[in-house]
A and B are shown apart, each in its own frame.
Chain A
Amino acid sequence: MSLDPATVRRIARLARIRVEDAAVPRLQGELNNILGWIEQLSEVDVEGVAPLTGGAQIALRMRGDAVTDGGYPERILANAPDRAGEFFAVPKVVE
């Protein structure tokens, strides 16, 4: 599988990373190089193998339903690059 320039742009778009047109060929080369290398996994026989999804081999723990967090809007908003009073602010989104 080899990435074409359109795919590189599509991936960058999905990842929300701006890529200048001039940078596409370089990125395409780098990504194809890595993808070509990881291609080696196709030689492993994985027939009937159950995928290992996580690092921990335990079942999920649950917590009780109690309000134990929140209630500190100033600490939530303190690092915001742009805020309007009690809200975060972003350029207007048109739906």
Chain B
Amino acid sequence: MTYTLEGSTGSWEVVVGLEVHAQVISQSKLFSGAATDFGSTPNTQVSFVDAAFPGMLPVLNEECVAQAVRTGLGIGAHINLMSRFDRKNYFYADLPSGYQISQFEHPIVGAGAIEIELADGSTKKIGVTRLHLEQDAGKSLHDQHSTKSYIDLNRCGVALMEIVSEPDMRSPEEAGAYLRKLRTVLRYLGTCDGNMEEGSMRADVNVSVRKHGEPFRTRCEVKNVNSIRFVQQAVEAEAKRQIEVWEGGGTVLQETRLYDPSRGETRSMRSKEDAHDYRYFPDPDLLPLVLDEAWVESLRAELPELPDAKRARFMREYGIPFYDSGVLVAEQVIADFYESVATGRDGKMAANWVIGDFFAGLNRTGHSIENSPVSAAALGRLLDLMADSTINGRIAKDVLEAMMDTGEDPASIIDARGLRQVTDTGAIDQAVDAVLAANPDKLAEYKAGKEKLFGFFVGQVMKAMAGKGNPALVNEALKNKLG
């Protein structure tokens, strides 16, 4: 299904490319030894280097380089053994040195790709042009004072990976899928926490529109969109705006815009009077970054299993379907939880229980998987109690609910509430007799050929036994009596 927007002159195709700024997980900043924690007291995580005091010099953090390389390897990209840091010069209140140290001509990571999955089950490869390391800026607070802006440099100098995609996406859905997949991969790699609310992942969205078969038209860059939902909205809003411009006889100008979620529209960023001229040049305080191939290979060897590989393995090893395995690998914690439930058990059944009742229970009780009251081991024990016929599936659902509420072990809940399955054929026969005696009319109908009523009798017997009857034995007893 191709996504198109209808205008007065016909249908339009939307072209989207994303530049994602992902904050690197590291203890200290890219070029200084100051801390990187989120939400600290203003200007406490600032070194003289970050605040660009006279005579201060950058020294590169090896772990940030390793994180960029891991990310590059994780998206199957080319690692450039020789890269370089350049200065991007511009004045801004939260950019103390008057330049951002970035990588312009020679990024550390070259071309790679990310495979996304769409709602209709199809997949698509989105090209990644490059990934480079650069410094984050500080934070300006504009709402604290009527005539002043306040500057906090805590974030200034924190390492970012700028991940630039090809203009390969054709719909808001594809843009969202790309961001979700990228976030998953970054989290698996442990190179970025992907937390968009805290700003550790931000997207610049490049949008253009065209008629089918046309070359690309002018694009606009919607800056700093901080949620996947807003990215999707921004794509649509900006595409519609551009269609209106083109159809109204106008020309879309290449410019930087902002998305305003409250109005659902993009607006031009107050034009900064002068055209940007960043005057990139190699940072003379830093030498070319030369990586040892063996070091890169050692990072490759230590890479965790990534979602696509894990999904394929889950399908193969546990026999679970494509869709379910996709749900289970979307987050590393879920995959780990599932795998620890599934190990040594029926993988399909484990998947059903994790995706079904377990997720529903988390939802109902407002827990995340990280602080779930039911551990993977406890859920595993519940499955074992079903497998050895201590309880039946119906009772297990109730037990899991109780486990969610109390955090107790399934066995103790079963014992305390007397939920053990009844396998005593005498007791079952007794219950069957009572049900048949209480429903003579239904019995007559059954005997007259209305065999569908068998299920009714099963239900009544189970009800009489408070759900604890062993379903197979109840069936057998009924069959005997109904002959």
Contact = CB atoms under 8 A, between A and B. Distances in A.
A58 B151 contact: no
Contacts of A77: 43
Interface of A: 10, 13-14, 16, 53-56, 58-71, 73, 75-77, 82, 84, 86-95
Interface residues of B, number: 55
B368 to A, nearest CB: 28
Contacts of A76: 43, 46, 48, 51, 153
Contact of A65 (B49, B64, B148, B269): B64
Highest count of chain A CB atoms <10 Å: which of B43, B47, B145, B270: B43
Contacts of A10: 274
12 contacts: A55-B284, A62-B61, A63-B59, A67-B27, A71-B34, A71-B35, A76-B46, A86-B44, A87-B151, A89-B145, A91-B147, A92-B149
Contacts of A13: 273-274
Given A60-B288, A70-B47, A76-B51, A84 B148 contact: yes
A66 B151 contact: no
A90 B93 contact: yes
Nearest to B269: A95
A62 B151 contact: no
Contacts of B46: 70, 73, 76
Contacts of A64: 61-63
A68 B45 CA distance: 11
Interface of B: 26-28, 32-35, 41-51, 59-65, 84, 91, 93, 140-142, 144-153, 258, 269-270, 273-274, 277, 279, 282, 284, 286-290
Contacts of A66: 27-28, 33
Given A64-B62, A89-B148, A92-B145, A73 B41 contact: yes
A42 to B, nearest CB: 20
A60 B43 contact: no
Contacts of B145: 84, 89, 92
B100 to A, nearest CB: 16
A65 B62 contact: yes
Highest count of chain B CB atoms <10 Å: which of A63, A67, A71, A77: A67
A33 to B, nearest CB: 22
Contacts of A92: 142, 145-149
Contacts of B148: 82, 84, 89-92
